[in-house]
């Protein structure tokens, strides 16, 4: 039987993904990145050059082949097939029915939101939290903080709770099933995080097949993409602390946001790792 190394299987898998015309963007930006994630995950190997020469077992090859075929034939995003995804340097559980973590806010988390945060946040809230990845990764960067995770979808809330436990944050995290602010305790937050549904109607109509596996509830933001964003901003002044900060993502709906709120002092940070449509909004002085 012909033996195959990790490097050879990655190369072959990448070529097959590329030839199939797959769309990428669910935690990977190319066929090579995705093939690497597939093979290393199945083989439970570190992302290290020393792993490339390892010989794969027949069982490992068979599992890779099954997952690769499903990825190509059904266009299922790879994180759903693996049941996990890496975000902001952390591993998170993911499952069909919950939007896959991929927000460029992850870059700002790893920078501890410097220099925009005046002080380490005591109270953090993640609205439309999905898997909980943004809030959890942030809370891990600020060990003295308390975290509130909020989503309207009970499945997302349940998955967030699992990820909270996975990262040992149960004692300083509450997970709330709520329509945005409705059932959130009446308090102010030092850091408000949100990656809400923001895809406008035009973009929703032309999404690649991979994105159709994700719940429309977590993607669709109405005609201009701002249906949920408006509700968040309506309560911003009543919910942010004196030196607090809102960090949000609106993707391609950024221009619509600027037209809708021409007087708000949004700041759009440069993102070295890619992505677009991430804004910062600081509390008004005084």
229, 261 contact by CB (below 8 A): no
Complete DSSP assignment for 23-78 = ---SS-SSHHHHHHHHHHHHHT--SSGGGTTPBPPHHHHHHHHHHHHHHHHH---H
Please give the C-alpha separations between residue 114 and each of 111, 120, 222, 280, in angstroms, as whole numbers. 6, 10, 32, 12
252, 225 contact by CB (below 8 A): yes
Give per-residue burial for 172-206: e unless 16+ CB within 10 Å, then b.
ebebbbeebbeebeeeebbbbbbbbbbbbeebbee
pLDDT for the residue 275: 85
Structural domains present in the chain: 6-82 (1.10.8), 98-282 (3.40.50.150)
CA distance 183 to 152: 10
Local mean pLDDT, 10-residue blocks, the chain (286 residues) = 84 97 91 94 79 88 96 97 95 97 96 94 98 98 98 98 98 98 96 97 96 96 97 96 96 97 96 91 82
pLDDT for the residue 113: 97
pLDDT for the residue 82: 96
pTM of the predicted model, to two decimals? Answer: 0.94
């Amino acid at each position: 039987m012909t033996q195959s190394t990790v490097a050879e299987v990655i190369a072959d898998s990448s070529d097959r993904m590329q030839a199939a015309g797959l769309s990428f963007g669910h935690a990977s930006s190319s066929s090579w990145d995705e093939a690497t994630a597939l093979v290393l995950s199945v083989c439970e190997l570190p992302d290290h050059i020393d792993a490339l020469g390892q010989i794969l077992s027949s069982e490992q090859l068979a599992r890779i082949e099954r997952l690769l075929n499903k990825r190509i034939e059904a266009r299922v995003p790879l994180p759903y097939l693996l049941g996990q995804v890496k975000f902001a340097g952390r591993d998170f559980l993911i499952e069909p029915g919950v939007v896959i973590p991929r927000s460029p806010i992850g870059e700002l988390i790893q920078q501890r939101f410097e220099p925009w945060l005046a002080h380490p946040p005591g109270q953090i809230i993640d609205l439309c939290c999905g898997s909980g990845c943004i809030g959890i990764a942030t809370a891990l960067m600020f060990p003295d903080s308390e975290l509130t995770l909020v989503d309207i979808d009970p499945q997302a809330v349940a998955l967030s709770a699992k990820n909270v436990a996975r990262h040992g944050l149960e004692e300083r995290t509450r997970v709330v099933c709520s329509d945005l602010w409705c059932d959130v305790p009446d308090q102010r937050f030092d850091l408000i995080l949100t990656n809400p549904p923001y895809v406008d109607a035009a973009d929703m109509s032309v999404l690649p097949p991979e994105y159709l596996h994700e719940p429309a509830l977590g993607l669709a933001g109405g005609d201009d993409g701002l249906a949920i964003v408006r509700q968040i901003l309506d309560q911003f002044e009543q919910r942010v602390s004196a030196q607090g900060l809102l960090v949000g993502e609106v993707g391609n709906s950024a221009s619509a946001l600027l037209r809708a709120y021409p007087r708000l002092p949004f700041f759009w940070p440069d993102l070295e790792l890619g992505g677009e449509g991430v804004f910062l909004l600081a509390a008004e002085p005084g």
